[in-house]
Structure 1
Amino acid sequence: MRSLFLTVVPLLTSLAVLPSLVAADEFCEDLWFTRNAIMDRAGYCFGSNLGRAIFDNTDCLGKNVRLNRGDQETVATLQSMEHDNDCRVDTSQSQLSLKDLKHRHALWFLPIRDLSESACIGWLGDQAGLRAGPTLDAPIIGKIAPGDTIGYSYLPHANWDYVQVFDSNWNFKSAGWSDLRITPKTCRQIAG
């Protein structure tokens, strides 16, 4: 009996940790993408399989690119977060598991992933547009429809949130920046 206990308890413990490892991989991939998207926009030429698969090198300038002060600070913050979370993205692969990758490429302003998550489950408001940046001047790149679930996993910027939108079965639908205020009156349920 003791032998069975010694075998089952570690197995159950490892299974309980598995979802957090998957979430950690997605978190690290998210940080990696944002950091490298900033570098891509500055003209960085990617050499890794992953960098070449995710970003377009046709307009790159080289390996030594200049970042403005804000981008330098953001890259430093992302590198610190990657270090603090022991992130190790496999750059020999050719894809990321980010559901919103197409939307992220369309963004004017890149979001920074947060460790906390929350959601508005069952949006009760009207259809709303999601924008490429945290401003009303940014183009609409997605939408929230009544009944959707709105996921919050990113640091807010100037009273705007980068959100991911899911259907009632948690299938990804859309993403973008929103200035909607979530209250108990606008959601069937608030989680997180």
Structure 2
Amino acid sequence: MRFLTAIFLTLTPVTAVADALCDELWLTRNTVFDRAGYCFGSELGKSVFDNSDCTTSSPKLSAEDELVVAQVREVEEEFSCAVDTSRQSLDVDYVDQRRALADLPVRTGYESACLGYDGPALLMTAGRHPDTAFFGEILPGDNVDFGYITVDGMEFIDMGDGRMGWVGGLLFSPKVCAGGMAG
């Protein structure tokens, strides 16, 4: 599997990977602003978000939201992101599900994985707090990708098949990864 991953990464154009990363970062950053009542003016903003409940062009963000936006902007700068906001769609899977998360994750642009998870089933939630909704499950045999900033000991996992969410206290090691660790 490691060999196939290496081939995929070699054959995938860097710009395509960066474009998808930048689109996801744009979605995360602008979801924060949408939740704060921001009124979008760009074609992309109006296509992705519903302006019917917007209230301002200068929203006040909480300290936690300001941190998320700062983290996103740092990664966007590192990867020289420049999302074309004149278009009407993003290269992001499961946009509605991502927007429904209670706590928004921030992609790092770097990934590692546990190949062939060999532990008990793990529940993933919509947020970092125990009272948030069940959002997915990691099952034995799954390949578990890590590519998001860890927050307060919580990892955000995107299984790539619609299952995603926050999991606490993950201690992945070669012991629980039948196929080893990659990345």
Scaled to the shorter chain, the TM-score interval is 0.7 to 0.9
Q: Which one of the candidate residues 113, 121, 130 is aligned to 2:115?
A: 121
Aligned to 1:185: 175
Q: Please give the alpha-carbon distance, in whole angstroms, between the structure 2 residues aligned to 1:100 and 1:150.
A: 18
CA offsets 1:54-91 (integer angstroms, 9 cap, x no match): 22222111212111233234323423432342211111
- Contact 1:124–1:147 at 8 Å: present in 2 too? yes
| CA distance in 1: counterparts of 2:12 and 2:60, whole angstroms | 39
- 1:21 aligns with 15
Q: Under a length normalisation based on structure 1, what TM-score does the superposition of the two structures give?
A: 0.81
Which whole-Å CA distance do the structure 1 matches of 2:117 and 2:85 have between them? 37
Q: Which runs of 5+ in 2 are unaligned?
A: 1-9
Structure 1 unmatched ranges of 5 or more: 1-15, 167-171
Task: Confirm or deny: 8 A CA contact 1:103 1:174 kept in the other structure.
Answer: no
Please identify runs of 4+ aligned residues in structure 1 that moved more than 3 A: none
Distance 1:25 1:111 in 2: 18
Identical residues among aligned pairs (%): 38
For residues 167 and 96 of structure 2, the distance between their equivalents in structure 1, rounded to whole angstroms, comes to 17
Counterpart in the other structure of 1:140? 134
Amino acid at match of 1:65: P
Cα RMSD over matched residues?
A: 1.9
Tell me the matched-pair count.
Answer: 172
Alpha-carbon contact 1:164-1:176 (below 8 Å) kept:
yes
* 2:39 is aligned with 1:48: no
State which drifts further: 77-86 or 173-182: 77-86
- TM-score, normalization: structure 2? 0.84
Distance 1:128 1:102, change over 3 A: farther
